[in-house]
């Protein structure tokens, strides 16, 4: 008997070790669940349950990797987004709650459009494409990425979530989509300023630089995507783009220069400017 190996004992110990992390308690729970193959409710109801010695060792090994700063999603290999359980790897950005604002904006702007053709540019794990596919089985969605490894993860997500309306394509932005036009283009591009120390010092240093680094000023990918999008939108097609909380003004101006109308910026669940939309005439 080793009461320190009880569910409660392990979670307390993890919370203590991880006290520098904002989500110490939750992180511990997610890591333990990974080893116990059960649900969170079970943990709460079985605080006295003692886990095997080997499981306790594995648990502390995970906690120690978390202490190094590795995000929980990379330790467990999954992350929830739009109530879907998505597989993630070091080759994909970890889906963020703020990106759900992209999904909401797209659903809202195309509410009445049946059988829309949609492009999710730079899909990563497939998060936005899969959320839209789930909500709108009548839409046909192309999910593209430059990274073959990311597309491998996106394919596994398409298979395990079981949607039939997502087609994957390897493409450097629009390069491999030359003659295709869409009713909607959604994109969460890299938009962190290349000089931002978070890229090398923050927890995001574990995520693919390709998915985060938006060059000097952070707007290079956004410029490229907004500039080329008109050639890939049908008349009245919609562009929905995620960006940084302080980039709303710049992105609205850019959309205007590129010829988009009905341009507006929407806030994420934290109340920050996060998503801009425009219509191509």
User: In angstroms, what is the minimal distance from the CB of 176 to ligand GLN?
Assistant: 21
Name the DSSP class of 238.
E
The residue among 152 and 215 lying less far from ligand GLN, judged by its C-beta, is 215
The residue among 32 and 192 lying less far from ligand GLN, judged by its C-beta, is 192
User: In angstroms, what is the minimal distance from the CB of 61 to ligand GLN?
Assistant: 27
Cβ contact 5:14 at 8 Å = no
Name the DSSP class of 274.
E
The rounded distance, in Å, linking the Cα atoms of 187 and 172 is: 13
The residue among 25 and 96 lying less far from ligand GLN, judged by its C-beta, is 96
Helix (H, G, I), strand (E, B) or coil at 147: coil
The residue among 204 and 277 lying less far from ligand GLN, judged by its C-beta, is 204
Strand partners for 238 = 184, 279
- Interface with ligand GLN (CB under 6 A): 96, 188-192, 204, 212
The residue among 8 and 89 lying less far from ligand GLN, judged by its C-beta, is 89
User: In angstroms, what is the minimal distance from the CB of 33 to ligand GLN?
Assistant: 24
The residue among 95 and 278 lying less far from ligand GLN, judged by its C-beta, is 95
The rounded distance, in Å, linking the Cα atoms of 29 and 138 is: 38
Residue 49 CA, chain-centre distance (Å), reads 34
Question: Which residues have a Cβ under 8 Å from the Cβ of 96 and sit 6 or more positions away?
Answer: none
The rounded distance, in Å, linking the Cα atoms of 231 and 180 is: 9
Which region, left, alpha or beta, applies to residue 36 given φ > 0 means left and ψ of -120 to 50 means alpha?
alpha
User: In angstroms, what is the minimal distance from the CB of 23 to ligand GLN?
Assistant: 15
The encoded tokens of residue 182 equal: 């869409």
User: In angstroms, what is the minimal distance from the CB of 208 to ligand GLN?
Assistant: 10
User: In angstroms, what is the minimal distance from the CB of 60 to ligand GLN?
Assistant: 28
Q: What is the full DSSP assignment across 30-51? A: HHHHHHHT--HHHHHHTTTPBP
Helix (H, G, I), strand (E, B) or coil at 145: strand
The residue among 28 and 190 lying less far from ligand GLN, judged by its C-beta, is 190
User: In angstroms, what is the minimal distance from the CB of 263 to ligand GLN?
Assistant: 20
The rounded distance, in Å, linking the Cα atoms of 253 and 168 is: 31
């Amino acid at each position: 008997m080793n009461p320190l190996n009880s569910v409660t004992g392990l979670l307390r110990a993890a919370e203590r070790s991880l006290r520098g992390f904002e989500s110490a308690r939750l992180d511990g729970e997610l890591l333990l669940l990974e080893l116990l193959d059960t649900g969170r409710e079970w943990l709460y109801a079985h605080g006295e349950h003692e886990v095997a010695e080997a499981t306790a060792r594995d648990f502390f090994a995970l906690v120690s990797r978390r202490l190094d700063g590795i995000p929980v999603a990379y330790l467990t290999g999954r992350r929830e987004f739009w109530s879907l359980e998505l597989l993630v790897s070091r080759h994909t950005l970890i889906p963020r709650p703020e990106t759900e604002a992209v999904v909401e904006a797209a659903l809202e702007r195309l509410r009445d459009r049946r059988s829309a053709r949609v492009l999710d540019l730079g899909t990563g794990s497939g998060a936005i494409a899969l959320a839209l596919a789930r909500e709108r089985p009548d839409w046909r969605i192309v999910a593209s990425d430059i990274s073959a490894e990311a597309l491998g993860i996106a394919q596994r997500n398409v298979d395990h979530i079981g949607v039939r309306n997502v087609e994957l394509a390897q493409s450097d932005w629009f390069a491999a989509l030359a003659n295709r036009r869409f009713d909607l283009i959604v994109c969460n591009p890299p938009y962190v300023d290349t000089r931002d120390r978070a890229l090398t010092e923050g927890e995001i240093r574990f995520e693919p630089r390709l998915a985060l680094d938006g060059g000097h000023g952070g707007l290079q990918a956004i410029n490229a995507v907004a500039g080329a999008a008109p050639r890939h939108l049908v008349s009245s097609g919609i562009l929905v783009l995620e960006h940084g909380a302080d980039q709303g003004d710049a992105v609205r101006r850019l959309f205007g220069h590129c010829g988009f109308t009905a341009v507006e910026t929407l806030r994420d669940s934290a109340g920050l400017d996060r998503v801009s939309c425009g219509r191509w005439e």
